[in-house]
A and B are shown apart, each in its own frame.
Chain A
């Protein structure tokens, strides 16, 4: 079934969040007004990214990243001809021009730049092609998405959208218990750390805002980023009224209440 839609309704950050939470493998294709981007993921990690008609070969990326001089780049283009990225990488490492780390860092930087470019796209259609892998000859990386998501979320400034995302500040926050998420590996700002330090189901978001001297917009923006990155989730504050209030049932007797619910179950089951 479809995982497709419009960037007006789903931001790139939210799409990364989906891929991250579901540990998806496949390709996110985004058709913008002028060009198309393809971002590849493996088990919820960024593996490869390319945009439009830009030359995304390893030689070009290394040249852009100033790891290859113009003459080296030209020479590779002339001599290497049909050498794949993987073969070229090995050649460069074996010849002592570059280390494996140089190559991986250059690729990571390039792919991150592609995704950052996508953060500015507000128009376009997206679809996720399950299990579609990047081209065989390309070198893949394995980048966690949390930092990118936090970075993308920081760009959301629209009051109306933030209010939609977090309509009530009278709710609390708790840390998610997703395996593999380590706060230490996430690049948080000072403001985000200040909010993090107050996260506890006992504290309402409004109380955290007061303690950290943030206005409604600021606290919503930070909480939104933390939620998007899958670090925290909204919960009812501890000490809030119980889930089943007195006025929900016509009787206060708990045995009668249970009997009433069971009668409802029987009736609906028999419709």
Chain B
């Protein structure tokens, strides 16, 4: 049995667990704990502390594992471990919470430094009224025009599939061009 892995990262409460849950064939193996901090508790009740784990069986010989990183910075020691050997990564960002964009930039830079693998950025919660426009987000996140910044709704299977496919197309392009 061959296995490959992709990593879903991003700031706290950006929708990583939901993203993996939408497409995984197993219930996401989540390592969530109740949140104690008052500020964070306002946003959600529990957060990932080690990783989320989802699976997509491709065929009898191949399985894709999806790992979600913890969003809170104090668990960032897990990031490097999880990024080892990944085929590519997705940075999830909550489009309606500009207060997380700085952290998202930092996570993106950190992951780029860990591994030069292809990546895409998913602008989650684009269905929310307060969501920033994609091009404003691109500028706020200082993304190169070549980087794929994709509108996303993590609870919508079609949207999640589209993000995963775009990452795979990027990997394929990288293989064909050799990173030129």
Is the CB of A168 closer than 8 A to any CB of chain B? yes
Taking a contact as CB atoms under 8 Å apart, the answer to whether A18 and B140 are in contact is: yes
Taking a contact as CB atoms under 8 Å apart, the answer to whether B131 and A167 are in contact is: no
What is the bound-complex CA distance between A241 and B179, given in angstroms?
10
Taking a contact as CB atoms under 8 Å apart, the answer to whether B131 and A264 are in contact is: no
Is the CB of B81 closer than 8 A to any CB of chain A? no
CB-CB nearest in chain A for B174:
A243
Q: Which residues between 83 and 118 of chain B lie within 8 Å of chain A, taking CB atoms?
A: 84-87, 96, 98-99, 101-103, 105-106, 109-110, 112-113, 115-118
CB distance from A92 to the nearest CB of B (A): 39
**When the two chains form the complex, which single residue of B129, B132, B144, B165 contacts A265, counting CB atoms closer than 8 Å?**
B165
Taking a contact as CB atoms under 8 Å apart, the answer to whether A10 and B58 are in contact is: no
B contacts with A, residue count (CB < 8 A)? 52
Is the CB of B175 closer than 8 A to any CB of chain A? yes
**B132: chain A residues within 8 A (beta carbon):** 1-3
Is the CB of B133 closer than 8 A to any CB of chain A? yes
What is the bound-complex CA distance between A2 and B125, given in angstroms?
13
A-B contact count (CB 8 A): 138
What is the bound-complex CA distance between A196 and B68, given in angstroms?
38
Is the CB of B23 closer than 8 A to any CB of chain A? yes
Taking a contact as CB atoms under 8 Å apart, the answer to whether A258 and B142 are in contact is: no
Is the CB of A133 closer than 8 A to any CB of chain B? no
- What is the 8 Å Cβ interface bit string for chain B, positions 152-163, against chain A (1 contact, 0 not)? 000001000100
Is the CB of B169 closer than 8 A to any CB of chain A? yes
Taking a contact as CB atoms under 8 Å apart, the answer to whether B109 and A168 are in contact is: yes
Mind listing 29 A-B residue pairs with CB under 8 Å?
A1-B129, A1-B132, A3-B136, A6-B98, A6-B99, A9-B101, A18-B139, A22-B135, A22-B136, A22-B139, A164-B105, A164-B106, A227-B142, A242-B116, A242-B178, A244-B118, A244-B171, A244-B175, A245-B116, A247-B84, A248-B117, A250-B2, A258-B175, A260-B4, A263-B62, A264-B62, A265-B165, A268-B165, A271-B157
List the 4 closest A-B pairs by CB distance, nearest first. Answer: A9-B99, A168-B113, A5-B98, A250-B2
Q: Which residues of A contact B (CB under 8 A)?
A: 1-6, 8-10, 14, 17-18, 21-22, 161, 163-168, 170-171, 227, 233-234, 236, 240-245, 247-251, 254, 257-258, 260-265, 267-269, 271
A-B contacts besides A14-B140, A168-B109, 19 pairs, CB < 8 Å? A2-B130, A9-B102, A10-B101, A18-B136, A163-B106, A164-B105, A164-B106, A165-B106, A168-B112, A233-B144, A234-B112, A247-B85, A248-B85, A248-B87, A249-B87, A251-B2, A260-B2, A264-B4, A265-B169
